[in-house]
Chains A and B, each alone.
Chain A
Amino acid sequence: MPTTNPHRRRQRRRDALVFVAFAGPNLLLIAAFIYFPLLSNVYYSTLNWRMGATTATSAGLDNYVRLFTSPQGVEMWRVTITFTVVTVVASMVLGLLVALALNHRIPGVTAGRTAIFSPYVLSGVGVGMVWNFIFDPQLGLLGHVLRAFGARSPEWYLDSDLALVMVMIVYIWKNLGFCAVVFLAGLQSIPSDLIEAARIDRAGAVRRFFKLTLPLLSPTVFFLTVTTILSSMQAFDILKIMTPSGNGTNTIVFELFLQGFGPYQNAGYAAAISVVLFVVLFAITAFQLRFVEKRVHYA
């Protein structure tokens, strides 16, 4: 409603100025380095353009066609989906098991929780270097242990399937603690008298878990599924350090890097990957937000 009171109008103008002064710089940065890139990527993705070249020719939708039909593109999707599904399922299952153990009221459990969470905050570069040493077939700890049992170390770095298994193990090692801590918070929000009642009804531990605990954890399961899918699809540091130029480990973000900034220098193709990456991850997040919104409203 427009006001004629000059004092109120002056006040409103002053507030608008304060708003711009307080929020303006951040919004400008977000516009320049988050929103603007989304648009320019769409344009770049229609170009046949080498990184660093000053000229480019139009490619129409060729880059997108390549991304979904060329052997290289199909391979990228295979690796991305394998990596994402395996790491998401494994870190959630193992994380839940660890959370169930941490959910006992026993002395020292807080120290355990801290230790198990810690890899999540460490540099992926540092973690990758540590595990490169452990997986080294000749000099690594794993090889020593296997030889002690009379076995031989697999050639983790030569076989591309094994290389993918290796980076997935390290990724799960780094992210498992995050799932465990989120699951633990979920477990602790379950009213204990509910579990106690089931115990009095002589429901066995396994039955109690599947009929009571797991259904009550379903919001946590949903939340973790979405967030771990998002982070697995953005994996990069460990992949780059353990398999520097890709070795059956080219997930979408790693391929984006290799295509744009690595040996290929295909900037147009890298831009097309960026656009698709954005669309996929945005859709997953939007889906989650909608769902959470609904739950909040009707709970």
Chain B
Amino acid sequence: MTSTHISDWRQAFSRRNLVATLLGGYLPILLAMAIIVLPLVWMAIASFKPAPEIITTQPTLWPLAPTLDNYRHVADTVPLLTVLRNSLIVTIVGSAIKVVLAITTAYALVFVDFRFKSVVFIAVLVALMVPPEAALLPNYMTISALGGRNTLWGIILPGLGTAFGTFLLRQQFKTLPKDLLEAAKLDGAGHLKRLWRIVAPVSAPTIATVALVTIVGEWNNFMWPLIITDSVDMMTLPVGLNLLQSIEGQTGSYGYLMAGAVLVILPVLIVFAALQRFIVSGLTQGAVK
């Protein structure tokens, strides 16, 4: 899809197609791109502007005196390194466990004989249809009772049960040829070996898709960490930024706020730009419940 053939160029700009290419293709695409990209560019530029260049009626596009002070100020207001570290731990540990659980559950559902398998699958399917917000209040009670408020495990634990990944991987595992596993079984390979040596490697693209969608979701997750933490040392980045905004919000100190927004947005943008093929397919299929 990324490579464009010379013939495409020739056809797109031929006399017959020129008007359609420009007015029907490029014009609306560029307009849409401008509307999408402009706010993000404005954010990035403002994060390097000193306060007088933001509190003005005549803003310039480029900072006249670019500065890193905004980032320094964010680090002074919320313990930035701690909050970043919390976000990284929650994202990495949470995603890793979720992906492993999804793989083993999907494997069991497809390749292990069990009498109540269809009941279990329906239970997973129904779980997929439960909006996570509906479980908020009881999960808050459970985690509080277990002493998990203001702890990283308290942030991670309730989200670990995974229906989305299980469902997506089950679909993929079902397409694998049965003889592939029969041969390994005759060679005496147990289930664990069959899973890690055969099923997982040939399903790597789907596993990557599930992993990336999970990672992005964990990094952006806001509502649950917001509820379960109120001590700044245990907050994740989005919750820390929410706090930053309530501290700075009234004073028009948008430079600081844009520096904070860059920190939460930029990592995902980079990952997305590099691996968009997996992420887009995961998000658009994943929506097909």
Please determine whether A256 and B136 come into contact, CB atoms closer than 8 angstroms: yes
Closest to A12 in B: B113
Question: Binary interface profile of B, 9-34, with partner A (CB < 8 Å = 1, else 0)?
Answer: 10110000000110011111110110
| A253 at the B interface (CB under 8 A) | yes
Most buried by B among A125, A181, A233, A241: A125
B158 / chain A contacts, CB cutoff of 8 Å: 33
State A112–B43 Cα separation when bound (angstroms).
20
Closest to B58 in A: A144
Please determine whether A181 and B280 come into contact, CB atoms closer than 8 angstroms: yes
Beyond A115-B36, A130-B265, A223-B287: 19 further Cβ-contacts under 8 Å?
A18-B108, A28-B161, A31-B161, A34-B127, A37-B134, A38-B134, A38-B135, A41-B134, A97-B28, A109-B29, A110-B1, A112-B30, A121-B220, A126-B238, A126-B260, A139-B55, A178-B287, A257-B227, A277-B131
Q: Contacts A136-B252, A260-B137 hold; do A173 and B130 have CB atoms under 8 A apart?
A: no
Please determine whether B162 and A26 come into contact, CB atoms closer than 8 angstroms: yes
Please determine whether B136 and A237 come into contact, CB atoms closer than 8 angstroms: no
State A19–B42 Cα separation when bound (angstroms).
53
Contact segment of A62-70, A78-86, A100-108, A159-167: A100-108
Question: Binary interface profile of A, 101-142, with partner B (CB < 8 Å = 1, else 0)?
Answer: 110111111101011111111111111011111101011010
State A79–B149 Cα separation when bound (angstroms).
32
Contact segment of B65-73, B76-84, B202-210, B271-279: B271-279
Please determine whether B105 and A22 come into contact, CB atoms closer than 8 angstroms: yes
Residue pairs across A and B with CB atoms within 8 Å: the count is 298
State A38–B9 Cα separation when bound (angstroms).
56
Please determine whether B26 and A123 come into contact, CB atoms closer than 8 angstroms: no
State A7–B270 Cα separation when bound (angstroms).
55
Partner of A109, one of B25, B258, B261: B25
Partner of B8, one of A25, A107, A114, A125: A107
| A154 at the B interface (CB under 8 A) | no
A3 shortest CB reach to chain B, Å: 13
Please determine whether B280 and A115 come into contact, CB atoms closer than 8 angstroms: no
Closest to A120 in B: B283
B8 / chain A contacts, CB cutoff of 8 Å: 105-107
Q: Top 9 nearest A-B pairs by Cβ distance?
A: A29-B161, A37-B138, A37-B135, A104-B25, A22-B108, A30-B161, A101-B28, A125-B238, A19-B114
Please determine whether B4 and A107 come into contact, CB atoms closer than 8 angstroms: yes
Most buried by B among A26, A41, A178: A26
B residues whose Cβ falls under 8 Å from a Cβ of A? 1-2, 4, 8-9, 11-12, 20-21, 24-30, 32-33, 35-40, 42-43, 46, 54-57, 59, 101-102, 104-105, 107-109, 112-115, 117, 120, 123-124, 127, 129-131, 133-142, 157-163, 166, 191, 216, 219-220, 222-223, 226-227, 238, 241-242, 245-246, 249, 252, 254, 257-258, 260-262, 264-265, 268-269, 272-273, 276, 279-280, 283-284, 287-289
- Which A residues from 268 to 288 make CB contacts under 8 A with B? 270-271, 274-275, 277-278, 281-282, 285-286, 288
Please determine whether B105 and A27 come into contact, CB atoms closer than 8 angstroms: yes
Closest to B252 in A: A139
Q: Could you show 13 A-B contacts with beta carbons less than 8 Å apart?
A: A33-B139, A33-B160, A35-B123, A100-B24, A101-B24, A116-B33, A118-B272, A122-B220, A236-B223, A253-B133, A261-B227, A270-B137, A274-B136
Q: Contacts A16-B114, A125-B264 hold; do A32 and B9 have CB atoms under 8 A apart?
A: no
State A100–B273 Cα separation when bound (angstroms).
23
Please determine whether B55 and A129 come into contact, CB atoms closer than 8 angstroms: no
| A23 at the B interface (CB under 8 A) | yes
| A267 at the B interface (CB under 8 A) | yes
Partner of A122, one of B11, B191, B268, B280: B268
Size category of the A interface is 35 or more
State A117–B279 Cα separation when bound (angstroms).
10
Please determine whether B101 and A37 come into contact, CB atoms closer than 8 angstroms: no
Please determine whether A117 and B280 come into contact, CB atoms closer than 8 angstroms: yes
B273 shortest CB reach to chain A, Å: 7
Please determine whether A127 and B265 come into contact, CB atoms closer than 8 angstroms: yes
A30 / chain B contacts, CB cutoff of 8 Å: 123-124, 127, 161-163
Please determine whether A124 and B36 come into contact, CB atoms closer than 8 angstroms: no
Partner of B108, one of A19, A102, A130, A177: A19
Closest to A119 in B: B36
Closest to A141 in B: B42
State A180–B59 Cα separation when bound (angstroms).
33
State A147–B288 Cα separation when bound (angstroms).
45
State A198–B288 Cα separation when bound (angstroms).
31
Closest to B125 in A: A289
B289 shortest CB reach to chain A, Å: 6
Closest to B114 in A: A19
Closest to A228 in B: B287
A19 / chain B contacts, CB cutoff of 8 Å: 108, 112-114, 117
B2 / chain A contacts, CB cutoff of 8 Å: 110
Partner of A173, one of B35, B127, B222: B35
A228 shortest CB reach to chain B, Å: 9
B29 / chain A contacts, CB cutoff of 8 Å: 98, 101-102, 109, 112, 116
Please determine whether A133 and B134 come into contact, CB atoms closer than 8 angstroms: no
Q: Contacts A114-B273, A274-B133 hold; do A121 and B279 have CB atoms under 8 A apart?
A: yes
State A274–B131 Cα separation when bound (angstroms).
9
State A98–B281 Cα separation when bound (angstroms).
19
